[in-house]
Amino acid sequence: MIVAGVDVGSLSGEAVIMSNGNILSQEIIRVRPLPEQTANDVTIKALESAKLSLDDIDYCVSTGYGREMIPFANGSISEISCHGKGAFWATPSVRTVIDIGGQDCKVIRVDDKGNLLNFMMNDKCAAGTGRFLEVMAKTLGVELRELGPLALESKAPTGITSICSIICQFEVMMLLNEGKDRPDIAAGISKAMARRVMRLVKGVGKKSDVALTGGVAKNPAVVKSLQEFLEMEIVKLDIDPQIVGALGAALVATERLKKKLQKETI
């Protein structure tokens, strides 16, 4: 059985190809102008890596903001369930999942089988999202991938008081004009983001192990700040944290295909 999970978000698209519970290939791309274009391009790339084609897929499930616009998907599901399932599959000890996406942040609680128990989500404000970090990196004049390592160079993190992304941008500009060191400002940005995320964590309640998913999980300064606020370690997943949503969708595809085949044999 060949299944695919496709996650089309606001900043990136991911695809995971699985067979019999094993990952065959995975791919991440920057979003295209249209969700269906993103889904098609990232899936084709993942299939090529596995030496497969679209015709080889027995079942495909889509997730993310563009999930309803994927013509080759057999079904769709919320990314909340996908991140819970994907993180649990990668590390079965996980009970709390913090997913920081391009335009939202979710804190998800799962049980000892990886099933969704509870969640809270912030999608009303850019603060606490990947988009927030992109804007802050641009304001500091660095690439997004450089923001985390830059923050780790800080000796005295600058206090950033606002949790509003627009006001925070002005605050960063003022700090630059005052001659504050960029590493200290970058560290302040990481802490401001972590504080925003912790509001959701407090609403859901933390339970170890805690995993961080999404592209922001690759930012070492944000991970460090979150661990300080959580007062516990964030487990390092054995897979790329950015593919967890697509992985969860592939796992759902496996479940749905099995049910479909069982019905057909009755």
pLDDT in tens, 79-94: 999 999 999 999 999 9
Would you say residue 103 has pLDDT above 70?
yes
- With 0-12 / 13-18 / 19 or more C-beta atoms within 10 angstroms meaning exposed / middle / buried, residue 237 is buried
Which has the closest alpha carbon to 163: 219, 203, 122? 122
Residue 236 pLDDT class (50, 70, 90 cuts): very high
- How far is Cα 7 from Cα 259, in angstroms, rounded to an integer? 22
Q: String of b and e for 131-164 (b: at least 16 CB within 10 Å)? A: bbbbbbbebbeeebeebbebbeebeebbebeebe
With beta carbons less than 8 A apart as the criterion, state whether 80 and 116 touch. yes
Q: How far is residue 125's CA from residue 165's CA, in Å, rounded to a whole number?
A: 8
Q: What is the pLDDT of residues 143-175, one digit of tens each?
A: 999 999 999 999 999 998 876 778 889 999 999
Q: What is the reported pLDDT for 73? A: 97
Q: Alpha carbon 55 to chain centroid distance?
A: 28
Instruction: Using the structure block, give the residue that is written with the tokens 């990136």.
Output: 12
**pLDDT bracket for residue 122 (50, 70, 90):** confident
Q: Is residue 112 pLDDT above 90, yes or no?
A: yes
Given this model, what pLDDT does residue 77 score? 97
> Would you list the DSSP string of 140-208?
HTS-HHHHHHHHHT-SSPPP----SHHHHHHHHHHHHHTT--HHHHHHHHHHHHHHHHHHHHHHH---S
Please report the beta strands in the chain, taking only residues with DSSP state E, as ranges in sequence order. 2-8, 12-19, 22-30, 59-63, 75-76, 96-100, 105-110, 116-122, 210-213, 234-235
What's the pLDDT score for residue 129? 86
Helix (H) or strand (E) holding 230: helix 220-230
pLDDT score recorded for residue 161: 80
Neighbours of 259 (CB within 10 A): 10
| Residue 31 DSSP label | -
Please give the average per-residue pLDDT across 31-42, as a whole number: 96
User: What 3-state DSSP class applies to 69?
Assistant: helix
Q: Which range among 62-76, 127-141, 142-156, 236-250 shows the weakest confidence by mean pLDDT?
A: 127-141
Asked whether residue 124 carries a pLDDT value surpassing 90, the answer given is no
Buried (b) or exposed (e) across 209-230, using 16+ Cβ within 10 A? bbbbbbbbbebebbbbbbeeeb
**pLDDT, position 266:** 66
Q: Rounded CA gap, 78 and 73, in Å?
A: 14
State the chain's mean pLDDT as an integer. Answer: 94
Provide the whole-model pTM.
0.93
- Residue 219 CA to residue 12 CA, distance in Å, equals 16
Tokens of 129: 């999202």
pLDDT at 247: 99
For residues 152 and 157, what is the distance between their CA atoms, to the nearest angstrom? Answer: 10
- pLDDT-above-90 percentage for the chain: 87
Instruction: Summarize the confidence of residues 208-236 as an average pLDDT.
Output: 97
- What residue type is assigned to position 46 of the chain? A
Domains and CATH numbers, the chain: 1-91+239-266 (3.30.420.40), 92-236 (3.30.420.40)
* Two tokens, residue 123: 């999608």
